[in-house]
Amino acid sequence: MGAMSQNPPDLRPDIAPAARLEGGPRPGQPSIGMVSLGCPKALVDSERILTRLRAEGYAVSPDYEGADAVIVNTCGFLDSAKAESLEAIGEALKANGRVIVTGCLGAEPDYITGAHPKVLAVTGPHQYEQVLDAVHAAVPPAPDPFIDLLPASGVSLTPRHYSYLKISEGCNHKCRFCVIPDMRGKLQSRPAHAVLREAEKLVEAGVRELLVISQDTSAYGVDRKHDRHLWKGGEVRSHITDLARELGGLGAWVRLHYVYPYPHVRELIPLMAEGLVLPYLDIPFQHAHPDTLRRMARPAAAAKTLDEIARWRAICPDIALRSTFIVGYPGETEDEFQTLLDWLGEARLDRVGCFKYENVAGARSNDLPDHVPEEVKQDRWDRFMQKAQAISEEKLAARVGTRQEVIVDEVDDEGAVCRTKADAPEIDGNLFIDEGFAALRPGDIVTVEVDEAGDYDLWGRLV
Ligand code: SF4
């Protein structure tokens, strides 16, 4: 399903489905269940916690019943996500009874214990040590000299052939609709060599596509003053341009998410033209009218984004641009909205997600004057999506007859589900192969000729 056909109840473009783990415990081995709600960033946290637990000899239970305790990694971004988290905690309590809560909603412990006084412990986002302490208290580890050696890649909740790579946490901006900086703190970048070593291990373990994530990828390393680290006999700066170039040399596809339109982003585009990094930019513009952007307090609000896009396309004509937008932001006039529509017509983005503005508890935009009535928001959303869909259709139709490299995600009796370089997993479209696919395996990268295009997806055959 194309991302544009939905308006998920979440302002983040990065919604991933809840993940559950496979594999069962050996007799006598302590066992932990885990439910991971929310975005890919939360998924990365879940993976880290599970990797540590595995290393300590815990098994990961695929269901609540077989687990000695259950960790619920929550999302607290929107009221609807909070409700979903509370529901998941309730479900785990009912099925298992021993529940440890972590993640974004853990930043509001009273909210959780108010609804579910029986939870064993509540910890906030990235409090790995506290989560582990809570697990140790609830289910003591039973060290076993014969425990399986940790796989090189740790425990991965995403399919083995692609993996999220978190390069930093937190954010130095203060967008008025966003509470992430309050929950996750200021930007904290991982040292470049640590990111690269993790990426290298992932590629050695079979990962073919690395999805670089953070809250603000273009700001990577600013907090470290772009310090230098030894890497492979040379030096690498903790700067997104250096990092992207080195990642591109590892032999896997590299996809950049959450890049803001700062001038230095221009330096990344030649890496795309050279084929080191996928010609794909996930860049959350959110709006196009300068007054709306200012009221949102967006980073790079004054950027001349249409000029920037034209520059990028001049360097790398194949670049696929994905973005998300908010319509009906407080004070958005018809005139401002029309500017956004016109901008979209000129920018001709490849993939677009759009959200109707919604108050989030604690966000400063809640107090802005002139909130837009629901029916106006809906009307603007409809008009925006109509235009975005028409552009997407035209752009996909133009790819019929072209040859594209695709990565195979899934193969079943009916065909192979793949993605082109222009499509990120979970949020963009697919390319389907329904003939001659029997020998394909997930993670294969093959060339196809596109023979049909739909609203959001493509069909093709192997060449
Ligand atoms: S850049 Fe803005 S929207 Fe993104 S995490 Fe930071 S404050 Fe939130």
At the fourth CATH level, the homologous superfamily of domain 20-138 is Methylthiotransferase, N-terminal domain (3.40.50.12160)
Contacts of 204 (CB under 8 A, 6+ apart): 152
Atom of ligand 1 nearest to the CA of 179: 8
CA–CA separation, 219 and 395 (whole Å): 30
Residue pair 261/285 in contact by the 8 Å Cβ criterion: yes
Q: Is 215 in the pocket of ligand 1 (CB under 6 A)?
A: yes
Q: Give residue 189 CA to ligand 1 midpoint distance, Å.
A: 15
Helix (H) or strand (E) holding 449: strand 445-453
Whole-number Å distance, alpha carbon 383 to ligand 1 midpoint, is 26
Instruction: Report residue 447 CA to chain centroid gap.
Output: 26
Cβ–ligand 1 contact at 216 (below 6 Å): yes
Phi, psi angle pair for 98, to nearest 5°: -115, 100
As a whole number of angstroms, the distance between CA 99 and CA 90 comes to 9
232: left (phi over 0), alpha (psi -120 to 50) or beta: left
What is the chain's Cα-based Rg?
Answer: 22
8 A C-beta contact, residue 194 and residue 238: no
Query: Percent helix, strand, coil in the chain (nearest 5)?
Result: 35, 20, 45
On the CB side of 443, CA atoms within 13 Å amount to: 13
Strands (DSSP E) contained in 149-302 are 162-166, 168-169, 188-189, 209-213, 228-231, 234-237, 253-256, 280-282
Name the token pair of 207.
């990962």
- Longest alpha-carbon distance in the chain: 68
Ligand 1, atom 4: closest residue by C-alpha: 215
Ligand 1, atom 8: closest residue by C-alpha? 178
Place of tokens 């192969």: 433
In this prediction, residue 156 carries a pLDDT of 59
Q: Is the CB of 299 within 6 Å of ligand 1?
A: yes
Contact criterion met (CB below 8 Å) for 252 and 209? yes
pTM for the model: 0.72
Query: How far apart are alpha carbons 297 and 293 in whole angstroms?
Result: 6
- The Cα 175–Cα 203 span in angstroms is 35
Strand 431-433 and strand 416-420: the pairing is antiparallel
| Helix (H), strand (E) at residue 327 | strand 320-327
**CATH 3.40.50.12160 spans which residues of the chain?**
20-138
pLDDT tens for the 463 residues of the chain, in order: 333 323 332 333 333 333 333 445 666 778 898 888 877 667 777 877 887 787 677 888 878 888 899 999 988 777 778 888 899 999 999 989 999 999 888 888 888 998 999 999 998 877 777 888 888 888 887 654 333 333 444 555 666 799 888 899 888 988 999 888 887 789 999 999 989 988 998 898 889 999 998 888 999 999 999 999 899 889 999 999 999 999 999 999 999 999 988 888 999 999 999 999 999 999 999 999 999 999 999 987 777 899 999 999 999 999 999 999 999 999 999 999 999 999 999 999 999 989 899 888 888 999 999 999 999 999 999 999 999 999 999 999 999 999 999 999 999 999 999 999 999 987 889 999 999 999 999 999 999 999 999 888 999 999 9
CB of residue 173 inside a 6 A radius of ligand 1:
yes
Between the CA of 311 and the centroid of ligand 1 the distance, in Å, is 25
**Of 439, 446, 443, nearest in space to 205 by CA:** 443
Residues 6+ away with beta carbon under 8 Å from 129: none
Architecture of domain 403-462: Beta Barrel (2.40)
Span from the CA of 242 to the centroid of ligand 1 (angstroms): 23
Helix (H) or strand (E) holding 271: helix 269-273
Could you tell me where the beta strands, DSSP code E, fall in 104-161? 121-122
What residue ranges of the chain are covered by domains with CATH 3.80.30.20?
A: 162-397
Ligand 1 pocket test: which of 41, 166, 168, 216 has the largest number of ligand atoms within 8 Å of its C-beta? 216
* Cα–Cα dist 169/126, whole Å: 9
Residue 108: count other Cβ atoms within 10 Å of its Cβ: 18
How much distance in Å is there from the Cα of 159 to the middle of ligand 1? 28
Residue environment code for 333-359, b if the CB has 16+ CB neighbours within 10 A, otherwise e: eeebbebbbebbeebebbbbbbbbbbe
Q: Which of 77, 169, 173, 223 to mutate to test the pocket of ligand 1 (most atoms within 8 A of CB)?
A: 173
- Ligand 1 centroid distance, CA of 275 (Å): 29
Nearest CA to ligand 1 atom 5: 215
Distance from Cα 62 to the centre of ligand 1, integer Å: 34
* 3-state secondary structure (DSSP) of residue 136: helix
Ligand 1 atom with minimal separation from the 174 CA:
7
pLDDT at 16: 36
Number of H helices, E strands in the chain: 12, 20
CA-nearest residue for atom 2, ligand 1, is: 175
Residues of the chain with CATH 2.40.50.140: 403-462
Q: Which atom of ligand 1 is nearest to the CA of 184?
A: 5
CA-closest candidate to residue 448, choices 413, 411, 418, 410: 418
Q: Which of the following CATH numbers is that of domain 162-397: 3.80.30.20, 3.40.605.10, 3.40.50.300, 3.40.50.1220? A: 3.80.30.20
Partner residues linked to 418 by β-bridges: 408, 431
Q: 383-412 burial string, b = 16+ CB within 10 Å, else e?
A: ebbebbbebbeebbeebeeeebebbbbebe
C-beta of 259 in contact with ligand 1 (< 6 A)? no
CA of 180 to the centre of ligand 1 (A): 7
Cβ pair 419, 425 in contact under 8 A:
yes
Residue 171 C-alpha to ligand 1 middle, in angstroms?
6
Nearest ligand 1 atom, CA 178? 8
Cβ atoms of 171 and 216 within 8 Å: the answer is yes
Quick check: helix, strand or coil at residue 68?
A: coil
> By the 8 A CB rule, do 363 and 179 touch?
yes
Distance 173 CA to ligand 1 centre (A): 6
Distance CA 219, CA 126 (A): 20
Cβ–ligand 1 contact at 175 (below 6 Å): yes
Identify the residue whose C-alpha is closest to ligand 1 atom 1.
173
Distance of alpha carbon 285 from alpha carbon 305, whole angstroms: 9
